[in-house]
Chain A
Amino acid sequence: MSDSRASADGMTSMQRVLTTLGHQEPDRVPLLLLPVMQGARELGLSIQDYFARPEQVAEGQLRLRARYRHDCLYSFYYAAIETEAWGGTAIYREDGPPNAGAPVIRRPEDIDHLRTPVVEDSPSLLKVLETTRLLAEEAGGEVPIIGVVMSPFSLPVIQMGFEAYLVLMHEQPERFEQLMRLNEEFCVAWGNAQVAAGANAICYFDPVSSATIIPRERFLKTGFEIARRTLGRLQAPSTMHFASGRALPIVDLLPATGAAAIGVSHHEDLGALKQACRGRLSLLGNLNGIAMRRWTPEQAEAEVKAAIAAAGPGGGFLLGDNHGEIPWQVPDRVLLAITAAVERWGRYPLHWCRRD
C-alpha cells in the first residue's frame, strides 16, 4: 500500500503515532479519523452487505485511508457485534450502525448461568479477526491497526439494557461482580485475539466509566479497578475511550489504569485536559461528530485548528472525533476538509499556536 509509506518528511503513520504517544512532537499531528460504515459507501454496498464479508471491510478501510490520508486502519465493525458472541443479535439499518437486539440477559438471575463465549466459536468475531489479518498484511507495520473491545464495565448496557444494568450495579453487588468476572475474561480473550491477528493497539470503549454516567467515587470502586485489571492483561497498548462522555473529573486516576491514551469529549475543555494529562496520557479527540454533519469546510478547518492549538504542542495528541466513529451522515467534503486542515495546521513545530 503505497500511501502507507513514509511522508515527505520521512515519518510513517506508525512512527508519527508512536512519537506522539511518547509525548514528543512528530512531523505533524496524527489524524485518527475512524470512519467505519463509510467503507460500505466506498464499495457501493449496503451497510449490512458490507459487514457480511471480512475482505470487504478490509478493502473499505484501505480505500478510506487512501482518500482521507489518516494515520490508522480501524478493524471495528459495530458495538453490537460483541453481543452476537454472547447469543444476541444485531439489527441493521440503512443509515447508521446496527443496534443491539433484545438483551441476552433478560433477568438478573440469568447471570448465574451465563458462560463466557469462546472467541473462535463466534462467526461475527472471526470476521473481525480476518479483516485484521488482511489489514496487517497490507500495512506492513507502517500503519497502526486499531482493534476494539467494549469494556467489561460498559458491555452490560447492551447485554441487559441500561436501566437494568444501573439497578444491578446499585442493588445486586454480587451478581454485578459475577458479570464483571465473566466480561473481563471475554474482553481479554477478544482483545488479545485481535492483537494476535495483527492489531497494534486496542481501543477500550468504556462510556459507563465516564463522569457523564457515573460519579467519581463509584468509578473508583468499579470501572477504574476493572480497567486496571483488564488493560494490564491486554498484549498491546490501549486507549480508554469514553465515547463522548466526560473524563475531566476522573482524569487524574486514568494513568494508573495503564491506558496510553484517552478518547475525550467535545463537551470538555481540551486545553484543561491537556494540562491535566501532559506527559502522562495522550489525548484522542475531540471533534464533534454529530455537529460535523452540518459543518462547512471553513468550520471544519476552524475546529481542527482550535483542537490542535489546545492540545497539539508537545505531542501527546491524536486528532479524531469524540465518539470513536464518524456518523454515516457526515459529508465527504467535511472529512476532506479535516484532512486538509491537519496538513495545513498540524505540521510541527506549531509556531502559529504561540503566535495566535
Chain B
Amino acid sequence: MLDAARAESDPLTVIENLVRPALEEIGRRWEDGDCALSQVYMSGRICEELVEELLAQSSESEIPHAHALETTPPRLAIAVLEDHHLLGKQIVRTVLLAAGYKVIDYGRQDVDGLFERVRDDQIDILMVSTLMLPAALRVRVLMDRLGALSPRPRVVVGGAPYRFDEGLWREVGADAVGLSAGDVLQILERLSQADT
C-alpha cells in the first residue's frame, strides 16, 4: 500500500493522506475501547519508522512544519511528569511526528526541571503526560510556576487520571486534555488558532 502511494505521491502527501489518518483512526478506536494500548503503541512505532523513512526522502524545504517550527511559533515540547512510565508520551510524540510537527522531548521531569526547560526554550505549547494521580495533581504546581511567564505557555495534559476524572484537567488549571493520542492534533490546531 505504501509503495503504491509513494509511486503516485510525494513523501509528505503520503504522510498526510495515509499515515496520519491511520494514526487518527487508531486513536479513535482506542477512545471507543475497540483497540488495545499495545496495538496503539506498536502501530505508532511502525508509523514512526515510516515517517522517518519518508521524511528522509524529502528535501528540507518540503517539510513545512518542521522547517517553520525552527523559527516560528508554536514551539512544542512534551514530558512525563514525575513518573518512569514513558509509554503515553512516546505514543503522542509519534502522532506529532507523523503529522509533521517538531517537538522537543524532555523525557521524565519534575516540576522544577520542567519549568526551567520550558522557560529557557521559550515553549509555546507543552504536553504533559502523567500516570499516577499525585503526578496529575502536581500539574497545578507547574501551572502556577508557568503563570509567571509572559506569555504563559499553553499546557495540554493526558494520562490515566484524566480519563477517570473528567474535571481534573480544569482543576489543575490545564488548557486542554487529550484522552487519546489522536486528540492532540485537533487540540494543537485549536490552541494555535486561539493564540493567533
Contact = CB atoms under 8 A, between A and B. Distances in A.
Nearest to A265: B164
Interface residues of A, number: 36
Contacts of B133: 96, 290, 293, 327, 329
B41 interface: yes
A329 B35 CA distance: 31
A163 B45 CA distance: 10
Contacts of B163: 267
A266 interface: yes
Contacts of A169: 38
A96 B137 CA distance: 11
Q: Is the interface of B mostly helix, strand, loop or mixed?
A: helix
Nearest to B86: A163
A166 B41 contact: yes
Interface residues of B, number: 28
Interface stretch (A121-129, A211-219, A298-306): A211-219
A266 B164 contact: yes
A173 B84 CA distance: 25
Interface in A169-189: 169-170
A101 B33 CA distance: 31
Contacts of A352: none
Interface in A265-284: 266-267
Contact of B84 (A100, A167, A212): A100
Query: Dominant SS at the A interface?
Result: loop
Most buried by A among B35, B85, B133, B163: B133
Contacts of A266: 164
Nearest to B137: A329
Contact of A213 (B37, B83, B85, B137): B37
Given A95-B134, A99-B132, A290 B161 contact: yes
A244 B160 contact: yes
B90 A163 contact: yes
B9 interface: no
Interface in A59-105: 93, 95-97, 99-103
Contact of A214 (B36, B137, B165): B36
A162 B87 CA distance: 6
A277 to B, nearest CB: 18
Nearest to B35: A215
Nearest to B91: A163
B37 A246 contact: no
A244 to B, nearest CB: 7
A254 B111 CA distance: 42
Contacts of B90: 163
A293 B165 contact: yes
B192 interface: no
Interface in B71-109: 82-87, 90
A235 interface: no
B84 A96 contact: no
A153 to B, nearest CB: 12
B151 interface: no
B86 A161 contact: yes
A106 interface: no
Contacts of A215: 35-36, 38-39
Contacts of B41: 163, 166
Contacts of B38: 166, 169-170, 213-215, 218
B170 to A, nearest CB: 11
Given A213-B38, A329-B134, 8 more contacts: A95-B137, A96-B134, A161-B84, A218-B36, A290-B168, A293-B165, A327-B133, A328-B134
19 contacts: A99-B83, A99-B84, A100-B84, A102-B84, A103-B84, A161-B86, A162-B85, A163-B87, A163-B90, A166-B41, A170-B42, A211-B36, A212-B37, A214-B37, A218-B36, A218-B38, A288-B165, A290-B165, A294-B171
Interface of B: 33, 35-39, 41-42, 45, 82-87, 90, 132-134, 137, 160-161, 163-165, 167-168, 171
List of 8 A-B pairs having minimum Cβ-Cβ separation, nearest first: A96-B134, A290-B164, A162-B87, A215-B36, A291-B165, A95-B134, A290-B165, A214-B38
